[in-house]
Chain A
Amino acid sequence: MGVSENKVLRRDGKLPFLSAPVKIMQNLYNYRQLLKHFIGRDLKVRYHNSILGYGWSVLEPLALTVTFYILFAILSDSEDPYRPLTILLGILAWSLFAKTFSNGTTCIQRNSSLIQRVYFPREIFLFSKSGYNMFHFILSLLVIIPLLINYELMPTQQLILLPIALIMILMLGTGLAFFTSILQTKARDVEHIVTIGLRISFYLSPVFYPLEMITGGRIPEQYAEAYLIANPMATYITMIRSAFTGAPLDIPTMNLVITFATTIAIFWIGSIYFMRKERKAVKFI
């Protein structure tokens, strides 16, 4: 039978501190059926008109890719043999992050009617959004197959970078949304601030240009390093590109370690914040 049957519900327990991520993982496991249903619901709504639904969902990244391709052909003299692929992967990876973050920000407030009706761990909402966006990313990724064939790119061992980068992007997006989803219940304009922030960082991240344009000597080396640390998405997007082109990852190991550590720390601290504030936050919705 169902998961909550004959279970004692106690909501006055101690609030988890360092163990918050562990607690969240337990909750996700216990409520995996529900998580599956939520993700399935979002996918069903999105792809309801089957072929057409899928077409629309890849049309935007494709249109953006064409636009930036033309723009770069005019503006830039740099040589990138895989330019359309570089741009498309950048846009897909960025939207995975941006959608996870922005959907996560609003998910507690938007589900207020459900939250006031039945209790289940509220982080399910956040993770159902990350899960949905993950599936959406993988489905959208199918459009790069013609490009891979065109460039005769074969899978190399660099492909291992793809799952690592995906997990990191989801952790970063969800980790930030842990904070903003709580703040959004108190101040409804947090979502607008997130939108503006994402728009600005879209241009500051190597989404439609390769990372080399920033680290390739145009700016002093120490700034390039600081940039990589301040912008984890720069690393993750570049990892996803390397995964498909097979090019070696041109990022110092030290920078990689710091970037991963920051992302994990954001997720960890975010989960503590969320678990401790969620009870208060739902009183505001």
Chain B
Amino acid sequence: MNESAISIKDAALDYPRKKKGVGLLREFITGRFKKIPRKDRWFRALNGINLEVKRGEVVGIMGPNGSGKSTLLRVIAGIYAPDEGSVEVEGRITLLAGIGTGFNQDLTGRENIKLTGSIFGFDSNSISDMEEGIIDFSGIREFIDDPIRTYSAGMRARLGFAIISNLEPDILLLDEVMSVGDYEFRKKSRARIDELVQGDATVVIVSHSKSILQSMCDKVYGIHNGEIVTDGEPDSAFEFYESEKE
């Protein structure tokens, strides 16, 4: 088995400047005639990224807003394919970022557990095994057979977190440590994340919080304008981040 769980070499990713602006076909057609140069339509969101994460390692990524942190996580998760370079990831990946969506409104909570499980590549038997644990963790057992559309936002978030965090991934990608639901559930989810981080999983955390990264990570990288600018030493990443803030 390979030593490293994530191996990124010289990866670059372009991203469109106007994401949803090009709504009308008219604009699409006229845009063609106007010949907007490529560099005005696309920008380099990630550039020359080299990153090796060993099995079981916990790595933090820190950087100002818009520096490409979340994009990097999505590239690792396979959501975006790199335009240049290579990205190799071994094992089951789960991206934990802003939750509660991806549910089908007309299906019940239980049915959504099954659906989400199969989306993440589990077969019916393993999903049935996890089901009770997920329902317990979510703390909404009495509503689990009601359609999702009857749920409050808090209940959806709870169920979303309960499902994702119980999938036991080999590689866990965390985009900002989240604050979900009431105080009790927040405490519970924080404890669960700690548990996952301390377990066997390889973890990549994106966060602004120095204290979280310091307490959890083996290595911390600073990222700026789509490039990794520090060598993995937590202190140099924090130093870089402090200097960026000024």
A and B are interacting partners:
yes
**B92 lies within 8 A of chain A by Cβ:** yes
Q: Which of B22, B25, B27, B74 contacts A193 (CB 8 A)?
A: B25
Inter-chain CA distance A234–B90, complex, in Å, is 49
User: A187 near B22 (CB under 8 angstroms)?
Assistant: yes
Q: Which of B12-27 contact A (CB under 8 A)?
A: 15-16, 19-20, 22-25, 27
Residues of A with C-beta under 8 A to B118: 33-34, 36-37
Residues of B with C-beta under 8 A to A2: 92, 120-123, 126
**B229 lies within 8 A of chain A by Cβ:** no
B9 to chain A, nearest CB (A): 9
User: A189 near B88 (CB under 8 angstroms)?
Assistant: no
Q: Mark A26-54, 1 if CB is under 8 A from B, else 0.
A: 00000001101110010011001000000
Interface hit among B97-105, B179-187, B198-206: B97-105
User: B121 near A5 (CB under 8 angstroms)?
Assistant: yes
| Interface size class of chain A, counting residues whose CB lies under 8 Å from the partner chain | 35 or more
Q: Which of A33, A41, A188, A282 contacts B79 (CB 8 A)?
A: A282
Q: How many chain B residues have a CB neighbour from A under 8 Å?
A: 47
Inter-chain CA distance A215–B23, complex, in Å, is 42
CB within 8 Å for A119 and B78 given contacts A2-B122, A9-B88:
yes
Q: Mark B76-108, 1 if CB is under 8 A from A, else 0.
A: 011111100111111111110100011010110
B185 to chain A, nearest CB (A): 21
Residues of A with C-beta under 8 A to B25: 187, 189-190, 193
User: B89 near A9 (CB under 8 angstroms)?
Assistant: yes
Residues of B with C-beta under 8 A to A23: none
Inter-chain CA distance A145–B150, complex, in Å, is 39
CB within 8 Å for A4 and B119 given contacts A12-B81, A187-B27:
no
Residues of A with C-beta under 8 A to B120: 2, 4, 118
Inter-chain CA distance A279–B107, complex, in Å, is 30
CB within 8 Å for A282 and B107 given contacts A2-B126, A12-B85, A116-B74:
no
Inter-chain CA distance A2–B127, complex, in Å, is 10
A156 to chain B, nearest CB (A): 40
A177 to chain B, nearest CB (A): 17
User: A118 near B95 (CB under 8 angstroms)?
Assistant: yes
Residues of A with C-beta under 8 A to B80: 11, 279, 282-283
A127 to chain B, nearest CB (A): 15
The total number of A-B Cβ pairs within 8 Å is 121
A132 to chain B, nearest CB (A): 13
**A75 lies within 8 A of chain B by Cβ:** no
CB within 8 Å for A45 and B106 given contacts A2-B121, A6-B91, A189-B25:
yes
Inter-chain CA distance A37–B106, complex, in Å, is 15
**B33 lies within 8 A of chain A by Cβ:** no
**B114 lies within 8 A of chain A by Cβ:** yes
Residues of B with C-beta under 8 A to A36: 118
**B176 lies within 8 A of chain A by Cβ:** no
- Extra inter-chain contacts (15) besides given A6-B90, A48-B106, CB under 8 Å: A5-B121, A6-B92, A8-B90, A34-B118, A34-B119, A37-B115, A41-B104, A45-B106, A115-B79, A117-B79, A117-B95, A118-B120, A189-B25, A283-B80, A284-B20
| Cross-chain pairs A/B with CB under 8 angstroms, 30 sampled | A1-B123, A2-B120, A2-B121, A3-B121, A6-B91, A8-B88, A9-B88, A11-B82, A33-B124, A34-B119, A36-B118, A37-B114, A41-B107, A41-B115, A44-B107, A44-B111, A114-B101, A118-B79, A118-B94, A118-B95, A119-B79, A186-B28, A187-B22, A187-B23, A189-B23, A189-B25, A279-B80, A279-B81, A283-B80, A284-B20
- In order of increasing CB-CB distance, the 6 nearest A-B pairs are A119-B78, A4-B121, A2-B121, A11-B81, A113-B101, A37-B118
Q: Which residues of A contact B (CB under 8 A)?
A: 1-12, 33-34, 36-38, 41, 44-45, 48, 113-120, 186-190, 193, 279, 282-284
